[in-house]
Amino acid sequence: MSRIAEILLPLPVPEAFDYAEPEGMDLSPGALVSVPLGSRTLTGVVAALRDGQGGNRPLKPVLERLTGLALPPTTLAFVLWAARYSVDVPGAALSIALRGARAPRPRQERRLQASGAVPARTTPARSRVLAAAQEPISGPDLAIAAQVSAGVIKGLVDDGALNVILIDPDPGFGVPDLALTGAQLNPSQAASAKVLTGLVQTGGFSAVLLDGVTGSGKTEVYLEAAAATLAQDPTAQVLVLLPEIALTQAVLARFEQRFGARPGEWHSAIALPRRRQLWEAVADGSCRIVVGARSALFLPFTNLKLIIVDEEHDGSYKQEEGFIYQARDLAVVRAKLENALVVLASATPSMETLWNAESGRYRWLKLSARHGAAVLPDIDLIDLRSTALEAGRWLSLPLVQAMAETYGRGEQSLLFLNRRGYAPLVLCKACGERMTAPDTESWLVEHRYTGRLICHLTGFSMPKPKTCPHCGASDSLVSIGPGVERVEEEVKERFPEARVEVFSSDTVHSAEAARELVARMTAGEIDILVATQAAAKGHNFPNLTLVGVVDADLGLRGGDLRAAERTFQLLVQASGRAGRHERAGRALLQTYLPEHEVMQALKAQDRDGFMAAEMAERELAKLPPFGRLAAVIASGPDIPALDAYVQALAAAVPNAEGVEVFGPADAPQALVRGRRRKRFLVRADRSVDLQGFLSAWRARAKVPNSVRVVFDVDPYSFL
Ligand SMILES: [Zn+2]
């Protein structure tokens, strides 16, 4: 009797499709298959198999089982869990899990090796070639080694004296050497490493917060947990998640140093064939350590025993487009499904994680001392109300003086401003018009390097016009406020001799470029680095002793749930860049709000006090982690259709205890790419099944074709 295969496809459809299993194909859950859908052939995964006749549609046969490719049961379970949690269809999560499997296979490389057969004719050149080709070698390398032309080599191939071998290209990772030992740990590190090693040996699920100030040496501690995991079980695998591609090179290097081999690397900048190789190596267990961005969480690990989420507080773990998920939270879920240990590391843990640690759900390991001789930098506030900035300048005199002293001692400064480009706003001084994109209500940001005005929301860009598009006045457009490029301009005017660089996503386009800039800063080849948040994380610059925060208030404006928390975290990270080695460091924060609790807590270096105050406020308002939030964003170009839909949705809110629905209201970003946007905000008590509520609500209103609706559980962006 033939079976019905339920196939999940990476498509926005609510359920698996039924197909007939051909005789002898012998499918099992998790197997990757190709199936026909309409006129297309798609790659899908077997979710389940059942005996019987009649499926949910006329049955077509599965075309092919893709050999060597399968999702392990826990990976499949994780995909389904993530989809339900995000109130999305399984296909959206599945497409992330299959990204590597659907990537093109790498092209095989040609190697030559002496076959042992004696060539028809022997010459000195031919003998040199055969001597140099005892091991497989590429044609060009062989020509160089034997100092012969390509023709000589081709003749030997034709004679059968050289075999042509096709091999897979180097996958970029190696086998970890477990005989190597780690760095000398200080007592605080050693105590934490011992606890983690103990948890690895005990086995099973547990979650740990590894909490230590910047520079306390968290990486060395989790490296020991990784070593214990790999040693405990010869097939165990380790996953390290990082919030930024720019950080991966440094962490890869640490792992390579510790284990004598590079880990697998997974993020959007890795070429597709290389991702295919890694996907397969993770699935067959030959890759044992992966360092990657959030989507690495969806790789097909067969025996994942340790997950590390470094800089766990970082907002970049929240994926905001396509399939919406919070990788830190899903890492804990995956660890549970895998019966694994998960370590969340941070100097400034998120409110959610701290709450879990305080309530005993997570084990809490504190690293107190800064590693080696380094001490935390002094943090001082510069009150911009009493220390006014000169017109058109963004650096106050006390900051400039500190920079001059630092430069004079041959040490480095980092100026931090979380704003790309030259100026965040361009307006016409004749008519007051602000430059905006034609289809989006957001200011255009001036970029001087490219001479363009760019919308950071949509990527729209145009050359900076010579005359005002509104009133036609010429030379009337003025740049308002600073971005990193403008701060760089001021620094170069003030310090004409200094070597100044900008670190932002506009100047550093690739992981390689980031690695290069970080290496130059580390080597002392830059005196003053002007940087966005890309440089505020994780890097270790031995000669950096001064951090200046140009606009410490920036993150506090706009006021969303996490504004204060995020500002605090970012500024601690930024000021923590200073004085990580022998020299004492100093951080100066320019602010108009010196009394603000964030500024006071930073000055006093009182993280726990700040978090406790913030926690009390959240508890009072029953906001996360004391309650749960979800956002519903509907958008569309057709305003009547959009209004009708949001009204229908408002009328269809299910009755539920402990849930409040606010809205619909215009979103703060009310027009993006020609689409109007409306928002609802849902607040629920922790006891409520929020996903069940949202799914039921979603099903009650039919979405018009022109409207797109997104359910965002635990929103981070309130735009
Ligand atoms: Zn004008």
The rounded Å distance from CA 29 to ligand 1 centre is 64
495, 525 in Cβ contact below 8 A? no
- What local confidence, expressed as pLDDT, does residue 10 receive? 93
Q: Distance between CA 332 and CA 323 in Å, rounded?
A: 18
Taking the chain (719 residues) in consecutive chunks of 10 residues, what is each chunk's mean pLDDT? 88 89 91 94 94 74 88 95 92 94 90 88 90 91 91 91 90 94 91 97 96 86 96 97 84 94 93 94 96 96 97 91 93 97 95 94 87 66 93 95 96 91 91 87 87 86 91 91 94 97 83 84 94 73 89 76 81 74 80 90 87 88 90 94 95 93 87 90 94 93 93 85
Those residues whose C-beta lies under 8 Å from the C-beta of residue 509, and which sit 6 or more positions away, are none
Class of domain 191-367: alpha beta
* DSSP code for 226: H
For 222, left (φ over 0), alpha (ψ -120 to 50), or beta? alpha
Phi, psi of 109 (to 5 degrees): -100, 145
The rounded Å distance from CA 473 to ligand 1 centre is 6
The rounded Å distance from CA 669 to ligand 1 centre is 24
- What local confidence, expressed as pLDDT, does residue 56 receive? 66
The rounded Å distance from CA 478 to ligand 1 centre is 10
The rounded Å distance from CA 475 to ligand 1 centre is 10
- What local confidence, expressed as pLDDT, does residue 577 receive? 74
User: Residue 255 has which token pair?
Assistant: 């792992």
Those residues whose C-beta lies under 8 Å from the C-beta of residue 610, and which sit 6 or more positions away, are 568, 597, 598, 601
CATH number of 378-419+482-615: 3.40.50.300
Task: Report CA-CA distances (Å) from 718 to 494, 530, 569, 617, 633.
Answer: 38, 28, 18, 19, 10
- What local confidence, expressed as pLDDT, does residue 718 receive? 76
The rounded Å distance from CA 477 to ligand 1 centre is 8
Torsion over CA of 367, 368, 371 and 375, rounded to 10 degrees? 150
- Domain extents for the chain? 3-97, 109-167, 191-367, 378-419+482-615, 627-713
Nearest one of 29, 118, 36, 108 to 76, comparing CA atoms: 29
Does CATH place domain 3-97 in 3.40.1440.60? Answer: yes
- What local confidence, expressed as pLDDT, does residue 584 receive? 72
Torsion over CA of 573, 574, 579 and 581, rounded to 10 degrees? 50
Which H helix or E strand runs over 2? none
- What local confidence, expressed as pLDDT, does residue 580 receive? 60
Phi, psi of 522 (to 5 degrees): -60, -40
The rounded Å distance from CA 474 to ligand 1 centre is 8
- What local confidence, expressed as pLDDT, does residue 285 receive? 95
Which H helix or E strand runs over 242? none
Coil/strand/helix, residue 265: strand
- What local confidence, expressed as pLDDT, does residue 59 receive? 85
Neighbouring C-alpha atoms within 13 Å toward the C-beta of 684: 20
- What local confidence, expressed as pLDDT, does residue 320 receive? 86
User: Residue 344 has which token pair?
Assistant: 């969340």
Q: Distance between CA 254 and CA 220 in Å, rounded?
A: 9
The rounded Å distance from CA 488 to ligand 1 centre is 28
Burial class (CB in 10 A: 0-12, 13-18, 19+), 694: buried
- Give the chain's largest Cα–Cα span: 92
The rounded Å distance from CA 448 to ligand 1 centre is 20
The rounded Å distance from CA 419 to ligand 1 centre is 25
Which H helix or E strand runs over 81? helix 73-85
32, 71 in Cβ contact below 8 A? yes
The rounded Å distance from CA 482 to ligand 1 centre is 21
Handedness of CA 13, 19, 24, 29 (dihedral sign): positive
Strand locations in 71-108, DSSP E? none
Do 191-367 and 378-419+482-615 share a fold?
Answer: yes
The rounded Å distance from CA 435 to ligand 1 centre is 10
- What local confidence, expressed as pLDDT, does residue 55 receive? 61
User: Residue 178 has which token pair?
Assistant: 């477990």
- Identity of residue 57: R
- What local confidence, expressed as pLDDT, does residue 245 receive? 78
User: Residue 99 has which token pair?
Assistant: 């990204």
Which H helix or E strand runs over 469? none
CA angle 27, 28, 30 (to 5 degrees): 115
The rounded Å distance from CA 675 to ligand 1 centre is 26
Q: Distance between CA 453 and CA 447 in Å, rounded?
A: 6
The rounded Å distance from CA 432 to ligand 1 centre is 6
CA angle 609, 244, 198 (to 5 degrees): 65
Those residues whose C-beta lies under 8 Å from the C-beta of residue 6, and which sit 6 or more positions away, are 16, 17, 18, 46, 47, 48, 49, 50
- What local confidence, expressed as pLDDT, does residue 295 receive? 95
153, 145 in Cβ contact below 8 A? no
- What local confidence, expressed as pLDDT, does residue 20 receive? 92
Strand partners, 647: none
- What local confidence, expressed as pLDDT, does residue 93 receive? 94
The rounded Å distance from CA 73 to ligand 1 centre is 62
Fold adopted by 627-713: Alpha-Beta Plaits (3.30.70)
- What local confidence, expressed as pLDDT, does residue 558 receive? 60
Task: Report CA-CA distances (Å) from 309 to 211, 329, 506.
Answer: 12, 10, 27
The rounded Å distance from CA 460 to ligand 1 centre is 21
The rounded Å distance from CA 439 to ligand 1 centre is 19
The rounded Å distance from CA 668 to ligand 1 centre is 25
The rounded Å distance from CA 465 to ligand 1 centre is 11
The rounded Å distance from CA 476 to ligand 1 centre is 7
The rounded Å distance from CA 434 to ligand 1 centre is 8
The rounded Å distance from CA 597 to ligand 1 centre is 41
- What local confidence, expressed as pLDDT, does residue 674 receive? 87
The rounded Å distance from CA 467 to ligand 1 centre is 8
